[in-house]
A and B are shown apart, each in its own frame.
Chain A
């Protein structure tokens, strides 16, 4: 067997493992014969181990043979010749995707093992693992994507599973509401991504990163766009990344996402999916180089986010929100690093930060225990030092800063006022216009649904 075949087999293995897991868990659930806890654990363990081993083997071979770019082609799946469109399934192993896919496997595997005990006897056990399989598959596909369509496909899987896991406790309203909020912000990001993808197709004729970024292996590539094109596409991609990585002004959803079980919060919002935006920017980093304005925008968004999150983190009183904003601070820095062209540092930063934050989030329920231990070790109450800022800023401004931080930068309110409300108004106006028109045509009340009462009758049995 020659090296290429081995690469090919291993590469397919890496992609197929989570897909097989999803098939095993999902299909059984669909036909109404869900697996038990034991079998789910075994399937998860097996697929993660095989996938991880294959990924590590690829890394080893790449190091041994000095290969820096391995592409796994799986052919065109959809071809529309008239539109010059083809959905080309292609995965790429390079210096960016291999560490990222190994990280995904490592953290997903650990969290999978953690969850098997944490969610023991929980009615939604199977549901969690189906979402988990979706997520793992999405992460692996996104990391390895060789074309922008494939990346989008993985990106969507991650988004879908994230929103579902935020709303994991579907019998309460808060998780569902917050899940919906996460989902709406994700859709915004997806829309920007999709437009960017279409634009790229239009400009270069294909979604392949090879074609897009020119030849050579990551990160030493040169993109083949004009600066103006780069700015346009880059800004759209920045919006997409901002939605996924909760950059300013789309940060409001991140603390709200802490509604699911602790391990899902840990892996998604602490570790993996929050870095996906940064990963996207890393992947398209050759484009960033083309336009100084674009780079500046990326740096700006990153720094503003980091600053905002650092201030906000200082006033959080619950451990999960505090960790969410701590995560965001670092994600902001990572994005700024990418904007500055420090790609390797950004990559190392992502890897380290994801591991650290996962551990911290998984340990979040131990907070009281840890504080007690620390207090005993130090021999007194834990004190927070007042930073220099406290001394420099005058009192009224401090008060204002405190409220700004406590209100989380007013970002949720701003989004509601500037995006959601105008949107609603437009559609309500359209609705009213339509009603008038149909009423006019039918010569009377045209909507039967208007007459239906909201039914809120409560029977004694249900009330108690």
Chain B
């Protein structure tokens, strides 16, 4: 041990000098760690946020290199899409031409243009594999006897014929031996060895086919061998563990992670374990040292030195940073390697490292944050453990006992330079291409070495990664063209007056019977539409793409209504506490830190009842908690277990009859539930907002500002109906750790009902209206706002404060809520088409029952599909998208350019919120879909909730951030396409002034187009500037209702225009 000790003393002197810069370095590297906080408030964000400053296409490649994850889907998946028509050959051609630019037409010797070569490589699946595998394929399959099945028979016959001609002419015994055929002769003779040469004239076509292929293979190999290719050695792994793994197959991380996962989970625990980690508050490093420096420790071989090591470190009073510096020098990591080495070391257990960093920097989001500096301490401990594990593995497997700084060199030497010449792979590539393109052995043989080198360089520069990129761009192109064509066509139809849109102003007189208007009246109404006319009622939803179907059905059911949408927190950024809640939770986008507090109280009449029920709740809660914890202990568990047979009743009931059980529980749950009549404490008396008495709520002026903002955003300042329903949304499901990811993104993973309620309350306040009137915004006296909440999982609707509804509006509300009921039922029906376990022929009622059952089902891993399939974001008036079937794929934000000022105040603030939120959702789905186990958290089935803040796979694994496969499985990974109703100049103006938006747009993280609905002219952003878009087709399928379009179909659906059919809408609306 002497050399090690000497080492220690030497390294300690350098440690001090090295330590300080390390802090900076670690904090810099930490931004590559997953940025997901505790799972209880799931916030969607760009998975590759760390690389967002780079353009998308570079960032995904960098992400692939850093995290070892896929940048795009596998090539085979795109090829399947090509077969299904989701990508067309024309898309690939156009994308390729676009991508290659001038380089497309370059001639590559005999082999045609670069464009044709690349197209051939895209069209046919090119396989590759390790050398041994390729040799096996050549020897054991009929790769050398039969052409690939994909090869056209004509091509095959021509190649065989020409080969035959060449052989018979130049290379059989009678031929004149020419200088340049010398090598060919050798090759052919090698082939003849396995064929019946004497009877060459009697060979049948199969023999000739096999012969041609043998020859082709040899010619290719000959060419590849002769070519001058610069062989790039693969980059050497930097971590000792990776070097050792390559050399021996032993993973030194495995024992380290076993211990570290357990310890990190205990350190981060938010209150699950009954005993928390001793000395947790002293930090990661301290508590680890305290725990493991005691005697009589674990017997595991690799940890035998741990106690002494920790005691040594403690005696020398090394700080965590000094310990890191010491470990680095002991491991022989050079100064220039520091950053890369630390990055890889942190990324090895990136889930926990990221969570430590999150709790350290965003402690406000957790119940028990961790002290600052925890990530550094984590790294210090990790490196100590790494050293021990490396030494143990190196000794056990390699017999290496020397100092660790020599380990990498030693292991590399032992592994030998396991380099591959790549000849087989390259040969196989050319061999495949030659078959599908029809290159003849003779012409390949006559290629000069220079030409071969050029060919191979071409093939290499169009690697699998590049092909996937082209495929992906083609896939996005197809959907973009479909969308823009549909939008343009739909706008044209509306302008020519032939669609369901533009119908919003049929109710020419408020209080008219609305739905009973006949067609004749309607035409009149359309004509009088020049003047603003008032819809029967209005619904303001969240911009969430899941509300698209809900709104579309509502407009079909009640053609006289108008639907609008904005971010679902309705500008009410607050900490909210419900009557039955224990704490305040933030309800607003994560970028906003709310200042205001709002809480819900039970009305005075029910105070006593509430007190009683609260007490009952507390009793039951305490008992449940005792049982929950007690059943896991010694004596309590005994009692619980002996009585446990009772558990079989809820067990069987809940699993076999989830919906009925839930109803039963609701019926009997009444005696503990909060009384349903409650009110919000919304108005503040003190000046400063805060959670204390008197400080809760808003001042009237603040309320007025909120109401003004939302009404201006959605553009209803002149046409406010008698009844406006403001509808927040959220989702509730069982057995779903990712429940919060289904909630409203604009409420920061919370449920937006209280926001809608608060907003309605504010807008109904006469004082607010008075202030607004002063500012020039007039809300008619007869207008009533009603707050509502839409549960996107079971499609339930709840309304708030209905007891305050004036009796004059009872009928209006009854009519509106009937229409909403029908709409949510139909929306549930439309959702069911994507659920394989729901039959396609369900009625709408049965569909509603089905989704209700899903939400209550313990065994359901797909309560809803969340944001899956999101692909579009429309910002503009509803008029031009109304009646367009968008298949629940579009975020819709209402915006009326006519009401914006010259500084584009409204559009700017809308886009400032919409861009990061929607792009974040879209990109998170993109990455979790293209690599479900790398960027996503894999399948839900083995998930195990740990420390109340995340999930692991099975018994113990790294924390898994990202989305589970069951949430994204129907997603289609395309970058979000924004279609914004504004001018190019305005959009550029906004991009210039908003760094965040410009970064997303210019980095191609999103796609962007602007629209002028009056002329249906579209400009799209491409290569850094806007270009005019010319639609490919003007056709848009016409259907009478949504259901006619989606009925009987589970897969993706294209766009369609809904024809106006009032008769049907009415009959269904009333029925």
Contacts and interface: CB of A to CB of B under 8 A. Distances in A.
A152 interface: no
A319 interface: yes
A399 interface: yes
B748 to A, nearest CB: 16
A368 B737 contact: yes
Nearest to A459: B128
B207 interface: no
Nearest to A456: B246
A265 B580 CA distance: 34
A386 to B, nearest CB: 8
A70 interface: no
B624 to A, nearest CB: 6
A358 B646 CA distance: 12
Contacts of A376: 580-582, 617, 621
Contacts of A168: 942
Interface in A343-358: 345, 348-349, 351-358
Contacts of A384: 271, 274-275, 629
A250 B892 CA distance: 59
A421 B392 CA distance: 14
Nearest to B419: A457
A376 B131 CA distance: 62
A63 B634 CA distance: 35
A307 to B, nearest CB: 8
Interface stretch (A110-118, A216-224, A283-291): A110-118
Contacts of B642: 345, 348-349, 352-353
B1051 interface: no
Interface stretch (B108-116, B587-595, B698-706, B858-866): B858-866
Contact of B954 (A169, A354, A374, A413): A169
Interface in B565-596: 580-583
Given A178-B955, A377-B618, A365 B129 contact: no
Interface string B447-466: 00000000000000001110
Nearest to B944: A320
Given A113-B656, A258-B944, A417-B300, A368 B39 contact: yes
A433 to B, nearest CB: 19
A236 B249 CA distance: 38
B955 A377 contact: no
A457 B637 contact: no
A456 to B, nearest CB: 6
B836 A121 contact: yes
Given A178-B955, A352-B644, A457-B130, A317 B272 contact: yes
Contacts of A263: 859
Q: Classify the interface of chain B: helix, strand, loop or mixed.
A: loop
Given A317-B265, A365-B735, A403-B291, A359 B650 contact: yes
Contacts of B249: 454, 456
B844 interface: no
A457 B952 CA distance: 30
Interface in B252-270: 262-263, 265-266, 269
B739 interface: yes
Given A121-B969, A355-B647, A413-B298, A174 B278 contact: no
Interface in B274-291: 274-275, 277-278, 290-291
A249 to B, nearest CB: 12
A348 B130 CA distance: 59
Given A314-B275, A378-B618, A464-B64, A365 B736 contact: yes
Contacts, number: 308
Nearest to A384: B274
Contacts of A329: 632-634, 637
A347 B939 CA distance: 37
B960 to A, nearest CB: 12
B70 interface: yes
Interface string A239-273: 00000000000000001111111110000000000
A122 B941 contact: yes
Contact of A323 (B614, B625, B632, B645): B632
Contacts of A322: 272-273, 632
Contacts of A459: 128-130, 425
B1025 interface: no
B899 interface: no
A199 interface: no
B638 A174 contact: no
A458 B862 CA distance: 36
Contact of A120 (B272, B420, B837, B945): B837
Contact of B647 (A172, A261, A325, A356): A356
B40 interface: yes
Nearest to A261: B941
A326 interface: yes
Question: Which of B581, B652, B656 has most chain A Cβ within 10 Å?
Answer: B652
A27 interface: no
A356 B640 contact: yes
A369 B628 CA distance: 14
A382 B656 CA distance: 32
Interface residues of A, number: 108
B861 A255 contact: no
B300 A378 contact: no
Given A368-B945, A374-B621, A402 B278 contact: yes
A39 to B, nearest CB: 15
A464 B620 contact: no
A174 B618 CA distance: 42
Contacts of B198: none
Given A262-B941, A457-B420, A355 B955 contact: no
B938 to A, nearest CB: 8
Contact of A406 (B263, B294, B652, B860): B263
Interface in B59-111: 64, 70-71
Contacts of B71: 464
B945 A365 contact: yes
A363 B265 CA distance: 21
Contacts of A356: 631, 640-641, 644, 647
Interface in B852-888: 857-862
Contacts of B618: 377-379
A315 to B, nearest CB: 5
Contact of B275 (A117, A315, A377, A455): A315
A171 B300 CA distance: 28
Contacts of B660: none
A362 interface: yes
Contacts of B687: none
B785 to A, nearest CB: 28
A373 B947 CA distance: 17
Interface string B107-137: 0000000000000000000001111100000
B735 A457 contact: no
B734 interface: yes
B296 interface: yes
B766 interface: no
Please name the 6 residue pairs, one residue from A and one from B, whose CB atoms are nearest each other, closest first. A377-B621, A356-B644, A352-B644, A326-B632, A353-B641, A259-B954
Interface of B: 39-40, 64, 70-71, 128-132, 234, 246, 249, 262-263, 265-266, 269, 271-275, 277-278, 290-292, 294, 296-301, 367, 418, 420, 425, 463-465, 580-583, 614, 617-618, 620-622, 624-625, 628-629, 631-634, 637-638, 640-648, 650-652, 655-656, 734-737, 739, 836-837, 857-862, 939-948, 952-957, 969
Given A113-B859, A115-B859, 10 more contacts: A113-B656, A353-B641, A359-B651, A366-B858, A367-B945, A377-B621, A380-B582, A399-B294, A403-B292, A454-B249
Interface of A: 106, 110, 113-122, 168-169, 172, 174-175, 178, 255-263, 306-307, 310, 313-323, 325-326, 329-330, 333, 345, 348-349, 351-360, 362-382, 384, 390, 396, 398-400, 402-403, 405-407, 410, 413-414, 416-417, 421, 453-462, 464
6 contacts: A169-B954, A259-B942, A356-B631, A359-B647, A368-B39, A381-B271
